[in-house]
Amino acid sequence: MPEEDRRPDEDAREEARLNDSVAWNAASYLISGIVGFGLLGLLLDRLLDTSFLAVVGSLGGMALSIYYVWFRYGSRN
Amino acid sequence: MSLSTLATAGGETFEAPSPADFWQPLIGDGAFALTRPMVLMALSFVIIAAVLLATTKRLSVVPANKKQFAVEALYGFVRNGVARDIIGSKEFLRYVPLLFTLFTLILVNNLFGVIPPIQYPTMSRIGFPIALTLVVFVLYHLIGMKRKGVGGYFKSLMPAGVPVFLVPVVYLLELFTYFVSRPLTLAVRLFANMFAGHMLILVLFLGGEHLLLHGEGLLPAAGVVSYLFGLVMSFFELLIQVLQAYIFVLLTATYIAGSLADEH
C-alpha cells in the first residue's frame, strides 16, 4: 500500500473529520430512538387496546438514544 | 390548492409550485414513462465519463495541465480525505472506486439543479437517492456478514460495556438504526435537501416574476427583491449541493468502516 508521507497535523485533521462523521451518525440513533420505540409503543397500544404506550415509547426511546449517543461517542477518551 | 393560489390583481392568480411540478414525463406516462430526471441521470453519466476519460488520457506524473490537476484534486479528496481517513489506510483502496463514483454522480446530478438550462436536481425525485442508498445498504451489511459471519455480525451490533438491564433495548435501538434509520436518513437527507432547495428557488423566481408582471402599486418592487433573494439562494444551493454529495459519501465510508471494524 502506498503510504504517502504525512504531515504532523494530518492526524489531528483526520481526528477532526472522524468526529464530524460521528456527528452525522448520531442523528440516525436519535431518530431510531424516537421513531422506533414510538412505533413499538403504537403497536403495543393497538394490541393491548391502550393509548399511552406510544408516548411512553417515543419519550423513553428519546431518552435512551440520547444516553446511547453519549455512551458511544461521548464517554470514551 | 386554495392556499397555494394567491390572487394579486386584475383576476390574475399565482399558482405556487407544488411537488407535482417535479413529475415531468417526456415520453409516455404512468409508471414506465421516460422522465426528465431519467434523461438527466443518463446525461450526467455521459458528462462524467467524458470528462474523466478526456482528462486522464495522457497522464503525466506531474500534472501537465490544469484539467488533470483539477480531476486529480477531486479524486484525491475522495481517496484521502474521505476513504483513507475514515476506513483506514489498510483497506480503503477497495472502496475508493465506489465512493468516487457515488461522489461524482451525486455531485453532478445535484449541480444540475442550478446549471442553466438544465435546472433540475435529479435527486429531488426520491427514487434516485433510494437506488443509491440501496447499493450502500446492501454493501455495508454484506461486508459485515462476510467479515464476521451472519451470527457474528448480529452479535457485533452490540457494543461492550452497556449496563446489563439496558442490553435488550439498546439492541433494539441498534437493529432499528442499522436496518431502518440509516438507509432512511441517507436517502431522505439527500432527497429532501435537493427537493426543498429547488422548491425554494422556484417559489422565489416564479413569485418574483408574477409580482413583477402582474403586481400593482409597489408590488413589482417586491418582485425585484424576490429575484435578488432567488439569486442569493441559488448560490446557497450550490453550497448545499456540494455538501450533500460530500455527506453521502462520508456516511457511506463510516458505514463501511463500521462493518469492517472488529470491535463495534
* Surface-to-core class of residue B1, CB atoms within 10 Å of its CB (0-12 exposed, 13-18 middle, 19+ buried): exposed
Tell me whether residues A32 and B177 touch, CB distance under 8 A: yes
Across the interface, whether the CB atoms of A24 and B162 are under 8 A apart is answered no
- A12-54: per-residue pLDDT in tens? 666 666 666 677 778 888 999 999 999 999 999 999 998 899 9
What is the dihedral sign for C-alpha B32, B113, B130, B176?
negative
Enter the C-alpha cell of residue B46.
Answer: 455521459
For B11-20, the pLDDT digits (tens) are: 567 788 888 8
pLDDT in tens, B199-239: 999 999 998 988 888 888 888 888 899 999 999 999 999 99
pTM of the complete model: 0.85
* Best to test chain A binding among B156, B175, B176 (most A CBs inside 10 Å): B176
**One-letter amino acid for residue A33 of the chain:** G
Q: Which residue in B90, B161, B176 is closest to A36 by CB distance?
A: B176
Spatial contact of B25 and B35, defined as CB atoms under 8 Å apart: yes
Torsion of the alpha carbons at B78, B145, B158 and A17, rounded to the nearest 10 = -10
Query: Residue B114 phi/psi, 5° resolution?
Result: -115, -5
- Using a CB-CB cut-off of 8 Å, the residues of chain B touching A1 are 89-90, 93
Assigned C-alpha cell, B240: 448545499
Q: How far is A37 from chain B (nearest CA, A)?
A: 8
Chain B positions touching A13 (Cβ under 8 A) are 85
Estimate to the nearest angstrom the gap between the alpha carbon of B71 and the chain centroid.
Answer: 20
Min Cα–Cα distance to chain A from B76, Å: 12
Q: Measure CA B215 to chain center.
A: 37
Q: What residues of A are in contact with residue B87 (Cβ under 8 Å)?
A: none
Instruction: From chain A, pick out residues whose CB is under 8 angstroms from the CB of B247.
Output: 24
Residue A4 has pLDDT above 60, yes or no: no
Which residues in chain B have Cβ-Cβ distances shorter than 8 Å to A3?
89
